Amino acid sequence: MLRHFNYSLGEANYRKDNQIYMSEFSEADPLSKDERKRSNFVRELVQRANEPHLRRAAHLATVPPKRIVQFWDDLDRLPQDVRECMDSWKELEKSGFEIQVFDESAAREFIRTHLGSCYANAFEKCYHPSMKSDYFRYSYIFVEGGFYIDADDVYHGTAIDHLFSDGRLKLQPFCYDISTAQMVPPSNFINLGANQLSWIFYFNTTPLIAVRNHPIVERALLNATKSLNQEFTGELPEVQATTGPGNLTRSVFEILTEESCPKEALLVVHDWEKTSTSKWPLSYRSDKRNWRLSNQHAYRSSSRAEEL
């Protein structure tokens, strides 16, 4: 499901109807110290040139399987417009790609079988389908490797074989402008030195392309598992920070700054929008299947067909 932020990394304690005005930025940094450190770190990764020569490491010696993985919690109630997005990827079957589609039941069984009860319990604590899709993608790509793409992403027909030529984790960079409550176009933020105090740099969770056992994917899975298996007191955990881009971005920052994984293990895909974009509008975005309308609230799927 959709991974575009409508505010920071989900940990921000500043917001006013998703709008913060420029006058506030002249007084203080809108980000906390830790948030600024992560954003700056991501900005440096995004704006550096991708290295042509890879430092050889065990997780880079192999290549991901040419397998496209998608998730929708209830395939019996898959909206037609979302189905069309998913079907757009079938074009790649002609190029030797395999497509696997999981629903909640199949995802649960995969996690239980391959990762065990601790991870299965964490999956059960994902209170919204968007969280389940997040958690499942980390689980699947860590165990099997391959290419996870959100169900509402449309394939534009460009070649992607080059993304399967090495074992690096491929991620799409995002930048959000708090002052305008808008995404910043990649053409504005990927160039060296481009920055604004109101910008937040982070990584999207779709696409997620990697070999099995990639250390960054492992860290994202472990961080999400730890957060979900904590006892919830008061509000439910925030979607973005717990399983979404906030979690992934924090995991990238942690493992690369620890130097337990080389920066060369990550490839920033600057022009992913040429390959795929999330489709707007879609029918589900107007109801509680949209995580933004269910964030930190218990989710209940509707039993009425007319609501679908």
User: What confidence score (pLDDT) does residue 260 get?
Assistant: 87
Q: What domains can be seen in the chain, in order of their start residue?
A: 22-298 (3.90.550)
Alpha-carbon span 285 to 176, nearest angstrom: 20
Residues 6+ apart with CB under 8 A from 292: 6
Q: Are 8 and 176 in contact (CB under 8 A)?
A: yes
**pTM of this structure:** 0.83
User: What confidence score (pLDDT) does residue 307 get?
Assistant: 33
Peptide bond into 207 cis (omega under 30): yes
Written as tens digits, the pLDDT of the chain (308 aa) is 334 444 334 434 333 333 333 334 445 888 899 999 999 999 999 999 766 545 555 556 799 999 999 999 999 999 999 999 999 999 999 999 999 999 999 999 999 999 999 999 999 999 999 999 999 999 999 999 999 999 999 999 999 999 999 999 999 999 999 999 999 999 999 999 999 999 999 999 999 999 999 999 999 999 999 999 998 777 888 999 999 999 999 999 999 999 989 999 999 999 999 999 987 664 644 555 443 444 545 545 543 333 32
Sequence-distant contacts of 11-16: CB under 8 A, at least 24 apart? 11/35, 11/238, 11/241, 11/246, 14/178
How far from the centroid of its chain's Cα atoms is residue 22's Cα?
28
Strand partners, 302: none
Closest CA to 39 of 239, 229, 216, 175: 175
The model's pLDDT over 25-54, given as tens digits with 9 standing for 90+, comes to 445 888 899 999 999 999 999 999 766 545
